[in-house]
Structure formats: C-alpha cells, structure tokens
Amino acid sequence: MLGDGRAILLGEQLSEAGQIYDIQLKGSGPTRYSRGGDGRATLGPMLREYLISEAMHALGIPTTRGLAVVTTGEKIMRERPLPGAILTRVASSHLRVGTFQYALAWGSVEQLKTLANYAIQRHDPDVLKREEPYLKFLLRVIDRQAEVIAKWQLVGFVHGVMNTDNMTISGETIDYGPCAFLDRYDPKTVFSSIDHQGRYAYGNQPYIGKWNLTRFAETLLPLLHDDEDTAVKKAEEALATYDERFTEYFLNGMRRKLGLFTEHSGDADLIHDLLTLLEKNQVDFTNFFLQLTFDSFRDEPFVNKQLFKDWYNRWQKRLEAQEQSADQAHELMKKHNPAIIPRNYYVEKALTAAVDDNDYTLFNEFSNALTHPYSHTDDQVKFSTTPETKVPYRTYCGT
C-alpha cells in the first residue's frame, strides 16, 4: 500500500517532428488510485524530480522530463505543513510493467492484447509486421532496460524504488522519489529510508531490472503462444539475453570512461579490478574518473598505493595498444566522465533554500550547471566536492 496515486494523464501531444508525448500531472489531487492518500505533492519532491530528471537528460540517460513545477498555494500535511506543488511531466509514454500486470490481473486476454498492440504501435511499430511480434516486443523492452540501467551504473545513479510500476516500457527512467547519486563507490549503497534490506542498493539494480522484466514476460505469456509451456520457454529464452546485453552496455560504457576505443579480452578484468580498488578505498566515484580524465589527482592518498600504481600501469599499456592517440583517448573520456552530477549535498541545499526561504538562487545556479555536464567549465568546480560527514544520507519518497 505504498504511494498515494497522485499521477494523472492529461493526454497525448504530437510534436512538430511527429513524436507523440504523454503530458501528465503529478500531485494535482486524488485519482482513482489514491486509495487513502490525498493525491497531492509537496514542493520539495517535485523540485527534486525536475532537477534530477533534467540532469539525467543532460547526462544522456533516457528519462521522463520535467516540463514545469508550479506551486498551488495549499499547505499539504506531511510530517509538517509543506507548500503544495504540481509537476507537469513529459514522456514518450507512461506505460509501465505495472500497466501490463494490471491488465493481466483485471482484464481479459483480448484487453491485454489491445494494450500490447497499442504499446508496440507507440514504441516499436516495425515489429507488428514481423513474425512473433510480441516476442520481438519483449526483446526490445529487455534491451532498452539493460541499456538504461547500465547507464545508471556508469554515473552512480541509485533509483531507490525499482518496483514494476517504476519501470517503463519505453526504457525511460521514471519516478525520482528517493533517488540519489553515489559519492564514495560502494555497491551496497542505499539511500531510501524504507529500503531496510538493501533490495534496491546500487549494486543490485541490474538484478532487480531482470526481476522486473521477468514479471513483464509473465504478463505476455498468453500472447507468446497458445501452449503455456511453449510460451514459458520463449519467455525464458528472451530473458536469458538480458545479462549479456547489460554486460555489453556496461563494459562498453566503462571502456569509454577509460578512453578505450576497442575491445580486448582483458578489459573486463581491468574494469573489475579498478572498481574493487575504488570500493576498498572508498573513493569518490565521479571525481576519480574526472581526475583520471585529466591525469590530475587532488589529495587522493590511495593513488600512491602500489595496488593502484600497478593498475594504472596496466591501463597505460592498454591505451598504448590501440591505434588512437592519447589526445583522442582524453577527448573520449571527457565526453563520458561528467564534471558534475546532482550531488546529494547540493540537491538538499538547493531544495531547502527554495522550500523554506523561497530562495531559488542556488537551485537555478545548480540546475544551469547540470545542463552541460561534459563541458568541464569553471562554474561546475564548486559543485564537485562536499563536506565530510559521518551521518548517512537518507532520502524519502515524498508521499
């Protein structure tokens, strides 16, 4: 019984380029699915979604977009009275795995088929003309999710609440509730206040993605084949492609972060060994790759340790083994290692000033700096470090 059913779809908008977008309000009041909730939203979480979704877009990660946040003038009761707000959200669609689960649970097979046909027409119209279109559709969704989750991992994004209602069919990141970004690299990192078991920890995200896709495949079984055993076998074969697809997207992304243009058999070990070093030494994930890009390490004691020096020499030899020059490798790294991410410290500072003091100075400055994360400009440097604290950072869903 989580959530308060506060999202309502207004309709579709056809762009000049022929792309259909969903326009959705979040926090406008009770909907058919509000259950015991008031369906409203407070200003802080809506500003958070706007800020981080736009930052994700700038990072090149498929995402819903924040068209606008407006205040309502209401006081919303949560732990304390808070200003009400509505987010207008835009997406190529808001169809989710949960949408298909709902259709299977409460609708007929014909209604499920209607939904699937609509989703295919919306996102993968070419597969309708092929053999086994629903199987092809399943494979497309698997591939999109493998890619987007790999992109999360590459920038240290932790979604925080990866249930099936928060996995889109389009492959866009959706619902920025208790999300946050890694500072120090640790696969066990959890930010959400309600995730006591670490189900949605940073390192678990690829596995939860596959779990969600398995639930999606289950909904399509009636459409994959009339014989249930045959349908299950087809679904299992499709799901078996996920691990390979995710690994490919992740390794290729890591290669680009390391300035590698080609694939070598030892790359996986090189990457694994680096991540192990970062974890053991509690190194800042974003800043490490940024400093590696410019070969300029600032007050990072672990780079003087022999294990890192050994790894660094292996990496240099790997760079020398490719045809591209050192300058070309540097340019590749600049394009894939952001100078700035929505660091949790500055996100909270900006939201607190906006909500409590109606001061958007920091919010606007931070938001503008986040719109060009790969430009490596001077205005981004001030957002690259945060004060040391031993207090664990916690996020809340905002409902």
Instruction: Return the active site residues.
Output: 165
Residue 29 token pair:
């009041």
DSSP, collapsed to helix, strand or coil, labels residue 63 as strand
Query: What is the Cα–Cα distance from 139 to 142, expressed in whole angstroms?
Result: 5
DSSP, collapsed to helix, strand or coil, labels residue 383 as helix
Residue 269 burial (C-beta neighbours within 10 Å; 0-12, 13-18, 19+): exposed
Residue 52 CA from chain centroid, whole number: 10
Whether the Cβ atoms of residue 362 and residue 343 lie closer than 8 Å to each other: no
Task: Identify which of 399, 265, 393, 367 has the alpha carbon closest to the alpha carbon of residue 57.
Answer: 367
What dihedral do alpha carbons 160, 210, 175, 199 form, nearest 10°? -20
What's the DSSP call for residue 127?
G
